Amino acid sequence: MSEWTTAGLWLAVVASGIYHGINPGMGWPLAVSAGLLDRRAGELFRALGLLAIGHFVAMIGILLPFGAMLTLIVWERQIRIAAGLIVIAAGIYLLINRRHPRVLARIPPAQLALWSFAAATAHGAGLMLVPIYLGLCQAGDLDVGHQAATTLMAGNLITATTVSVVHTAAMIVSGGVIAIAVYRWLGPKFISQSWFNLDTVWALSLILVGGIGIASIGFAR
Amino acid sequence: MTVRPDPTFHATAKLAMQAPVENFAYTLMLSPDFSQPDGLAIVDVNPKSKDYGKVVHSVIMPNKGDEFHHFGWNACSSALSPLSGHPFLERRFLIIPGIRSSRIYVIDTKGGPTKAKIHKVIEPEEVFAKTGYSRPHTIHCGPEGIYVSTLGGGGPDGTDGPPGIFVMDCQTFDVIGRYEIDRGPQDKQYDFWWNLPRDYMVSSEWALPPQFEQGIVPEDLLSNKYGHRVHFWNLRERRNVQTIDLGANHQMALEVRPAHDPVKEYGFLGVVVDTTNLEGSIWTWWREGGKFHCEKTATIPPEAAAKDDLPPLLQGFEAVPPLVTDIDLSLDDRFLYVSCWGTGEMRQYDVTDPMKPKLAGSVHIGGITRKTKHPGGGDYRGGPQMVEISRDGKRVYWTNSLYSTWDDQFYRDGIPAAMVKANVGENGGITLDKDFYVEFPEGYRSHQIRLEGGDCSTDSFCYPSV
């Protein structure tokens, strides 16, 4: 696996973070609302912090189990294929199920971290990272067969944490920049003006990422 | 599902005020003797149109005896809530409940108001079976879909269990079930509204069905048995967190009007009559230090009248009570309009300071004894009742009927349907538009008005006006 591939995968981690961050469905309008309601920019930053925590937990909650499973070296290929299929299935599900998400609306506005976690999980945001993450695990461990499972596990867990941190940082910075711009200069009108229905694009993104994940297994061999 | 949010959804009340003005109004028509089916009239309110002030389309229902009262949209500006994260609904369907039949009609307005048609009918049995409530009344679109308040519980007379609120799906219109998890002492229901980002709801009390369906019950009124409490709820936990008793003499706490700007944690409430002195009153409620408070902030006195000019119900008092039956707040939270259905007056209060409403304007029309005619010559009967304000706050529309059986007790000559309009001065003051007097088909009465694209009692805003 070349350094270019590794760099590309990290770029994908950052790009998916920006993609999630600018999507209003992941919460930047909540930060605007918090700032405007209390008439203090401090509340906006506090909200961004809580949104980041929720998003991070949603990411790492998905990546860690996959990282742990990857230590079962003999099943690695099957795990990668299964992961790709799960991501594709999630995309197809979101493509078909177009109901208004009523459950998210039941979370009280005071529980922003929980909301962020639920929103990311409901949209399969963590799943979008899985094939990228599995690619990174592979790129980092060229001689996996010679390593002890514990070493491998530790490596995968560190990678999972790093991927989640980098992704969440990109997400909250991009979303935060929009939130601050709306709060300070653009005004609330921007909220409805900029809001596009990304349902289809989002679902297709999952299918695409899952597909690339499966396809890359063939290339790696 | 749309690609962009509906253009009539606005993040703030201020943005809604800047939106294009309404060209049509939707007005409910009811047959007081149930001899005709009820209907929805579409009224042209564009002064430049040749049909200005005329009914240009109507949707007549397939059943009789529904008794239309209030109605609302399937979706509104609340869809822009950041918590829903998915504002791709359309303001397209009007949800019209029959308070006598418990039947609910869903009217599709796709293609414009003049193309309105019936989309779906929810039969009473579905409402009874899924909620245990009856007599659906107020409609609000909110976080979990469409919220419907009811006036009755189960059983034939609606007294088997308390009335409450139920939730409907905003796309399929399936009745989902009861809203309340813990209703506390709440046992009557009328209006409700909320502050979405602050996560609280306020509800009021009118009466139980036996106290209104066959007419007002004077003994119950004089013994203060109508509703006189206001309930505050944790909106998303669906719990009654506080109940305030206004005092038993403050009979019938009806419309709840929170400030539209969610930064402001206050609102208003209209009380029909004080049984000790026949006054009508305006109350201001607010939240401070986590607790709700409610105080009487304006009163409207009764007017003396000769016994012979009064209906039997009022003869003993030799006075006409103002009867505050509806109130409505402009989107800038500046003017509160107060219908005095008994004395025949529409009042405009400046509520810039919500604790000190100041009378800023007034017009007289109709009234039990005044019987003021419309300046255009119309023989307006009844008094100002259901009132609706344009989004920009420059026009105020109202109708004249209160409730089929009650109309006849206060206005013995009947109340043929009418709808009028007043123009609002730059700094307050209201004057009737003499060219706007809507006449409806024979035999109907008129009730709530909705304006094309949303109005001052349909939309809940999730962001502060800045």
- Probe site for chain A from B17, B18, B83, B140 (most A CB atoms < 10 A): B83
Q: Chain A within 8 Å of B464 (Cβ-Cβ)?
A: yes
Question: Across the interface, which of A36, A101, A195 has its CB nearest the CB of B5?
Answer: A195
Residue A78: C-alpha distances to residues A63, B270, B366 (Å): 17, 68, 81
Residue among A100, A104, A191 minimizing CB distance to B463: A191
Q: Is B87 on the interface with A (CB under 8 A)?
A: yes
* pLDDT value of residue A221: 47
CB B436 within 8 Å of CB B52: yes
Q: Identify the DSSP state of B79.
A: G
Tell me the torsion sign for CA atoms B212, B218, B219, B220. positive
Cβ density class A89-124: b for 16+ within 10 Å, e for less: ebbeebeeeeebbbebbebebeebbebbbbbbbebb
Residue B97 CA to residue B108 CA, distance in Å, equals 14
| B 226-245 → A contacts, CB under 8 A | 236-237
- From the list B245, B264, B422, B408, the residue with the least C-alpha distance to B339 is B422
* Domain B13-451 fold: Methylamine Dehydrogenase; Chain H (2.130.10)
> What is the SS3 assignment for A179?
helix
Residue in chain A closest to B16 (alpha carbons) equals A189
Alpha carbon distance B377, A63 (integer Å): 76
Q: How far apart are CA B71 and CA B457, in angstroms?
A: 10
- Angstrom CA distances, B81 to A19, B148, B262, B373, B381, stand at 21, 19, 12, 45, 42
B166–chain A nearest CA distance, Å: 15
Spatial strand order of the sheet with B430-439 comes to: B387-389, B395-399, B418-424, B430-439
CB contact B82 to A (< 8 Å): yes
Residue spans of the domains in chain B: they are 13-451
Query: What is the chain A residue with the closest CA to B2?
Result: A197
Under DSSP, the state recorded for B140 is E
For residue B323, give the DSSP letter.
Answer: -
The values of phi and psi at residue B462, to 5°, are -100, -5
Contact B158, B209 (CB under 8 A): yes
pTM above 0.80, yes or no: yes
Chain B residues 14-43 within an 8 A CB cutoff of chain A? 15
- Chain A environment of B170 (Cβ under 8 Å): 100
d(Cα B137, Cα B191) in Å, to the nearest integer? 8
| Shortest CA distance from A197: residue in chain B | B3
Show pLDDT as tens, one digit a residue, over chain B (466 residues). Answer: 788 899 999 999 999 999 999 999 999 999 999 999 999 999 999 999 999 999 999 999 999 999 999 999 999 999 999 888 778 899 999 999 999 999 999 999 999 999 999 999 999 999 999 999 999 999 999 989 999 999 999 999 999 999 999 999 999 999 999 999 999 999 999 999 999 999 999 999 999 999 999 999 999 999 999 999 999 999 999 999 999 999 999 999 999 999 999 999 999 999 999 999 999 999 999 999 999 999 999 999 999 999 999 999 999 999 999 999 999 999 999 999 999 999 999 999 999 999 999 999 999 999 999 999 999 999 999 999 999 999 999 999 999 999 999 999 999 999 999 999 999 999 999 999 999 999 999 999 999 999 999 999 999 999 999 8
Residue-wise pLDDT tens digits, A177-211: 999 999 999 999 999 998 988 888 999 999 999 99
Choose, out of A23, A94, A100, the residue to mutate when testing the contact with B (most B CBs < 10 Å): A100
What gap in Å lies between CA B45 and CA B53, rounded to an integer? Answer: 6
Nearest CA in chain A to B75: A100
